[in-house]
Amino acid sequence: MRIIENNGNLTLEQVTDFELCHVFDCGQCFRWEREGENAYFGVAFGKALLLEKQGDNLIFHGVTAEEFEKIWHGYFDFGRDYSAVKTKLGADGVMAEAIAFGEGIRILNQEPFEALISFIISASNNIPRIKGIISRLCENFGEEISYMERRCYAFPTPERLATLTLDEISVIRAGFRDKYILAAANAVADGSFDLERVRKLSTREAKTALMTLNGVGSKVSDCALLFGLGKCDSFPIDVWIKRIMEHCYFGGKETAASEIAEYAARNFGEYGGFAQQYLFYWARENKIGV
């Protein structure tokens, strides 16, 4: 992979294991939108980005090499060998098919607080509505960003959200989730819940810690662990994952989430999060198990 700076843009040449729609439409993030056939626009870590793919090249519009190294290299997980991940998981025939379908998926390393709040919002919700709520949250309470003559907004800080009342935050139309958003923001803002300390715990211990927050159950905690805290063995189980696991690994029988989680830990191990993303995208796009 070669990096070239040209006319205010940065191009990564010969990029492998990266397809825009696989990365941004696999359910792991909510602030990226397709622009045309080969580009997506989004915001992460307080920075906006128009990302375009031309053949095997990725074009980061309006990005310097310094910004790429500071933010986007880690965010897009460029330090990981995805071919090795696929080889390890692909020994399983079901996983091999799922990987072939979503071969360009990467797990994004998102800002921990944003991931936590985003997946609190995701509870009992669908992706279009989740995106709408998060967009309103950022527009009303996030810092304005200027990027390529666009106006967009950073995800609000815990300190900013902690100043709000339930009545004030109701503008985002998150319903019963409002109180959970504010409770989490207050806990992070006042230091009583330290996300960086939680990151250093084992996955099991970190999950237990996250579930002490109101509104954070098993699935939300697993998502926060995987997408915000770098716990790649975490295996979030939602309706799609439950269906496909039952369909492909349990003979179509109704199976408890706890049993599915045990199977994933035993068979996918440290690659559980990657397995979950390949399976989720494959199942949802093809309605497998429905």
* pLDDT digit string, tens, across residues 99-116: 999 999 999 999 999 999
Q: What pLDDT is recorded for position 163?
A: 98
Name the residue with tokens 């079901």.
Answer: 94
Q: What pLDDT is recorded for position 1?
A: 77
CA distance 22 to 187: 34
Query: Tens digits of per-residue pLDDT, 216-260?
Result: 999 999 999 999 999 999 999 999 999 999 999 999 999 999 999
Q: What pLDDT is recorded for position 213?
A: 98
Q: Hey, how many other C-beta atoms are within 10 angstroms of the C-beta on 192?
A: 8
Query: Tens digits of per-residue pLDDT, 10-37?
Result: 999 999 999 999 999 999 999 999 998 8
Per the CB < 8 A criterion, the answer to whether 133 and 174 are in contact is yes
Write down the mean pLDDT value for the chain. Answer: 96
- At 7, the pLDDT band (50, 70, 90 cuts) reads confident
Q: What pLDDT is recorded for position 73?
A: 98
What tokens appear for 118 in the block? 């985003």
Q: Mind listing the domains of the chain with CATH numbers?
A: 2-79 (3.30.310.260), 83-102+233-290 (1.10.1670.10), 112-228 (1.10.340.30)
Name the residue with tokens 């200027």.
Answer: 146
Per the CB < 8 A criterion, the answer to whether 12 and 60 are in contact is yes
Q: What is the mean pLDDT of the segment spanning 53-60?
A: 97
Question: Annotated catalytic residue: which of 86, 131, 219, 231?
Answer: 219
| Interaxial angle between packed helices 218-228 and 112-122, expressed in degrees from 0 to 180 and rounded to the nearest 10 | 150
What tokens appear for 206 in the block? 């970190």
Between the alpha carbon of residue 50 and those of residues 61, 155, 169, the distances in Å are: 6, 17, 29
Q: Catalytic site residue 219? A: yes
Query: Tens digits of per-residue pLDDT, 129-170?
Result: 999 999 999 999 999 999 999 999 999 999 999 999 999 999
The pTM assigned to this predicted structure is: 0.96
What is the DSSP secondary structure assignment for residue 154, as one 8-state letter?
Answer: P
